[in-house]
Structure formats: structure tokens, C-alpha cells
Amino acid sequence: MFALLKTGKMERFMHDIEILGLLIACLSHDLDHRGTNNAFQTKAMTPLATLYSTSTMEHHHFNQCAMILSQDAANILKNLSPSNYRLAMSKIEHAILATDLAIYFKKKSKFIEMVENGEWDWQDPDNKELLCAMMMTACDLSAIAKPWEIQHQVAKLVAEEFFDQGDIEKLQLNSQPIDMLNRDKKDDLPKMQIGFIDAICLPLYKALSESFPWVKPLYQHCAENRENWMKLAELVDMGLTWIDHDTIDKPIESRSSELTQLPLVVTELKPRTTSESSINKSQLQLPENDRSRRSKHGSKSSSAPSSPNDLSENEEPEIRPSSLRSFSLSNQHPALKPLIKKSNSKMCIIS
């Protein structure tokens, strides 16, 4: 909002009280959010839905804001005159309610038509109120216009919240959620993001940039992110998945080919020779308790053999790192490929 007012030069059409109301509304527009939308509140017949039949959560957010501002320690409007106080609270309420997308859809056509016809007069109270509503929606959805590295991570967080609501609808309401809330449709999210951008974001940012050319970067970045979502949607159509992985712009399946480029390292193990087997017997002596335990169970000796000649027929020779010989296989057998690890460690295969 601050960027729209200053960089977008929209402050020239606003009074100080109106600007103050918009900034407070932006800070307060999601106060005490329950992680579910208005449709869920209605279907679940929650107390909030009983209190507010329309724009349920938005009315609740405003009332939370009003409750905070009513406290002496937090009432930053207390020095305003009564008329300015009422004006500020009215602007805050209108701005917060405007973040309900149901209200946005009712007003979007009028705003776009006004801009396309070049008939706007932002000093007119009704037109200014409409502009403030569009500004609030533009700010509420601004993550869609942020750099891709930020945008796709925010999309994952929002999607997870939607899927949580869908899970609740399945378990508690015994109803099938819409695709946007359905965890089973998670890999269709790129396509849903494209639909969201086309239906809501791009038309709004285009209309704003035509009236205020200084905010055109919002439109441009949103269009660029649409292209990124389109590329991701094409990968999903090819059978790739993305949402379960941290890096969603490079699905895990597209990285699997990198593994086949790694050389397979096999190590041949040899028993040590007599010259390599000189070991200090005192270092291999068992503690007193272990020796007595072995004696009790009929163990032949409490010390380790000092050379391969001391080994009995069934005993295994000791393997020493100095006796390892390594070589690489240029042509890997397909059966061995699943064993390859992305590390510098060597694989030991003993026949």
C-alpha cells in the first residue's frame, strides 16, 4: 500500500485521514484469521457465520481491529476530532471488507469499464471509494507479482493452508472439497494459479497501470510469473510432480538423470598379509569382566589372533584399508544403478 501511495502517486487523490485509514486496514485486514474461508464458515455453521451472514471473516477482522483501537494503550486515533475519527473508522471498515473477493467481483467490471473509457474522476467520492477497494485487493494479492523465488514459495504456503481446510471438510463435514482445496489435486496447482492470475490479478493490475503508469511493474511481474506457472504446468502434464519438494521450479524427477552420470566405484577386498598383521596384543585384551564372562561360557581365548596363520578354519580374516584396490566401471550395469549414491564414498562389493 505504501508503494502504491508513494511510487504509484495515488496519494495525490487522498486526504491524510484516508491514507491513514488505508494503512491501518492493511495492517489489520487478516486479524485473528481462522485458516478457513467464508464458505467454510457458512457450511460449518460457526458462531462467526451466525454473527455475520456476509463477508464473515472480513467483518470479524474489522471488529478485531476496532477492539484493539478501543484500548487506551493502542488507540492511535484518540487525538482525532470526532468527525475525523468517524471518517477514519469508516475508511478502515470499507477497506477491510473490500478484501473479500466476492465484493471484488461485484465491483471489478465497473472499475475496468471506467478505466477503459477514460471517464474516471478520482476526486469523486464514489470513484475514490471504488479506487480504494481495488487498491486493497491489489495489495492483498501482491504476492503474485513478487519475484518468482518468493512467489512460488508463498504459493506453496497458501496451498497448504487450503489443503488443510479441504482435509477438514472431508473429515468433519463429510463433503468433497473443490479442486483448489483438494490435496489429491495438488499437482494441478500450477494450472489453478494460471486461472487465478487470468481471472483476478492481470485484469486488476492492467487497469491500475493504465490509470497510474507508475505501478506497471505489478502488471509486468504478474505476467512473468504466469509464464513460470505455465512452464510448471507443462511439466506436470508430462507426469512430473512438484509440490512435495522444496524446489518446485525443478521437479525431483527432472533431476534423477543426474545420478546416471556418476561413475560407479567398486572396491576389491583382500585379506592382509603377515607383514601387515603385526598388532599389539595388549591393545586387543578384553576387560577383566569380559574375560571372566568368556571363561564362564567356555571361550578358548580372550585375545585376538596376531596373524592369519592363527585363525581357525571358520574365522574371517581382518580387512585393512591399506589392502583395498579401487577401479571404475565405465559401463554401468542397469541393476547397479539404484545403488549409486551422490557422495564421494566408495562402494564395497565382496563376492
| Strands 347-348 and 325-329, bridge-based pairing | unpaired
pLDDT given at position 288: 52
Residue pair 286/302 in contact (Cβ under 8 Å)? The answer is: yes
Helix (H, G, I), strand (E, B) or coil at 149: helix
Task: State how far the Cα of 162 lies from the Cα of 202, in Å rounded to an integer.
Answer: 22
Instruction: Give CA angle at 99 (12, 147), nearest 5°.
Output: 75
What DSSP state is assigned to residue 342?
A: S
| Strands 264-268 and 347-348, bridge-based pairing | parallel
Closest residue by Cα to residue 267 from 182, 325, 345: 325
What DSSP state is assigned to residue 321?
A: G
Task: State how far the Cα of 124 lies from the Cα of 218, in Å rounded to an integer.
Answer: 25
Terminal-residue alpha carbon distance, the chain: 70
Phi (first) and psi of residue 265, to 5 degrees: -105, 120
Element (H, E) at 137: helix 125-140
Whole-prediction pTM? 0.68
Cell of 203: 485484469
pLDDT in tens, the chain (351 residues): 999 999 999 999 999 999 999 999 999 999 999 999 999 999 999 999 999 999 999 999 999 999 999 999 999 999 999 999 999 999 999 999 999 999 999 999 999 999 998 878 888 999 999 999 999 999 999 999 999 999 989 999 999 999 999 999 999 999 999 999 999 998 899 999 999 999 999 999 999 999 999 999 999 999 999 999 999 998 888 877 665 554 444 443 443 444 344 454 555 555 555 554 444 444 444 455 554 444 444 444 444 444 444 444 444 444 444 443 333 443 444 444 444 444 344 444 433
Task: State how far the Cα of 308 lies from the Cα of 303, in Å rounded to an integer.
Answer: 14
pLDDT given at position 174: 92
Helix (H, G, I), strand (E, B) or coil at 351: coil
Residue pair 79/87 in contact (Cβ under 8 Å)? The answer is: no
Amino acid (one-letter) located at 228: N
Residue pair 259/336 in contact (Cβ under 8 Å)? The answer is: no
pLDDT given at position 269: 56
pLDDT given at position 337: 47
326, β-bridge pairs: 267
Within its chain, how far is the Cα of 32 from the centroid? 21
Task: State how far the Cα of 21 lies from the Cα of 133, in Å rounded to an integer.
Answer: 12
Closest residue by Cα to residue 146 from 160, 158, 161, 128: 158
pLDDT given at position 245: 54
